[in-house]
Amino acid sequence: MTTTVPEPAALASTPSVERLRVKIFADGANLEGMLALYRDPRISGFTTNPTLMRQVGVTDYRAFAHEVIAAIPDRSISFEVFSDELEEMERQAREIASWGEQVYVKIPVSNTRGETTGPLIKSLSKAGVKVNVTALMTLDQVRDVAGNLAGGAPSYISVFAGRVADTGRDPVPLMAACVEALRPFPECELIWASPRELLNVFQADAIGCHIITVTHDVLKKLSLVGKDLDTYSLETVKMFRSDAVAAGFTL
């Protein structure tokens, strides 16, 4: 008797970028790359941070930000404060917010001493500053931040799902719980931050996450979405063969 094994749902369905509801934000600090993605209608916004800026050699924060804003005037862009003192964070946040209507100010969930930025983000949000609270990794943090942003300006809450995954934990249940926790707060949008692979885009979409930030390296893989797997398998075999020949290997 032959037993038919049902095909897993993940293999039976072909993913489609066109059917995605989650908004894709490009994460990076290379202006040329950002402009190329600006021409891509699939990219709804942009985020950056001091680490990414340093990696590409940015030395004048203000000048770089103004150049980006002038070149990308009509999509959400997040720039981060870099002070470790709450009072200076506020000053920087207000200046950054003044650079453009589409600008969101990234503020870490705490400073390096573990002091919460809750009162600061509440004050800024009530004053009309659009904030992107970043570096969250727990549901309790999300609930606390949402409470501080309630009734304020439009805001983002960035949960670093990729870093959660780096610890061996499945981030999907956490992110799904965060989606539910934010339902009473329509002014807050959840960002799936630091994804590690293109699959995360579809995972974020499946749970109803509002936004996912994606690096340029991962975005390059969008062209692979829905690719025939038999074709991809053969291409992989050809790649191994080609590289072996090019290396001149012998046994």
- Whether 56 maps to a domain, the answer reads yes
Q: What is the DSSP letter of 18?
A: G
Structure tokens at 5: 């094994």
- Whether 247 maps to a domain, the answer reads no
pLDDT in tens, the chain (251 residues): 555 555 555 555 788 888 999 999 999 999 999 999 999 999 999 999 999 999 999 999 999 999 999 999 999 999 999 999 999 999 999 999 999 999 999 999 999 999 999 999 999 999 999 999 999 999 999 999 999 999 999 999 999 999 999 999 999 999 999 999 999 999 999 999 999 999 999 999 999 999 999 998 898 898 899 999 999 999 999 999 999 999 999 99
Domain span at residue 149 reads: 16-223
Rounded CA separation 242/123 (Å): 60
- Whether 236 maps to a domain, the answer reads no
Cβ within 8 Å of residue 47, ≥6 positions away: 25, 26, 27, 77, 78, 106, 132, 158, 191, 213
What pLDDT is stored for residue 17 in this prediction? 86
| DSSP reduced 3-state for 250 | coil
- Whether 249 maps to a domain, the answer reads no
CATH value at residue 138: 3.20.20.70
Number of domains in the chain: 1
- Whether 234 maps to a domain, the answer reads no
Got the DSSP string for 86-134? Answer: HHHHHHHHHHHHTT-TTEEEEEESB-TT--B-HHHHHHHHHTT--EEEE
- Whether 4 maps to a domain, the answer reads no
In order of 68, 130, 185, 213, 225, the CA distances from 178 in angstroms are 31, 20, 11, 16, 27
- Whether 228 maps to a domain, the answer reads no
Task: Please give the positions annotated as active site.
Answer: 106
What pLDDT is stored for residue 14 in this prediction? 80
Q: For residue 64, count other CB atoms closer than 10 A to its CB.
A: 18
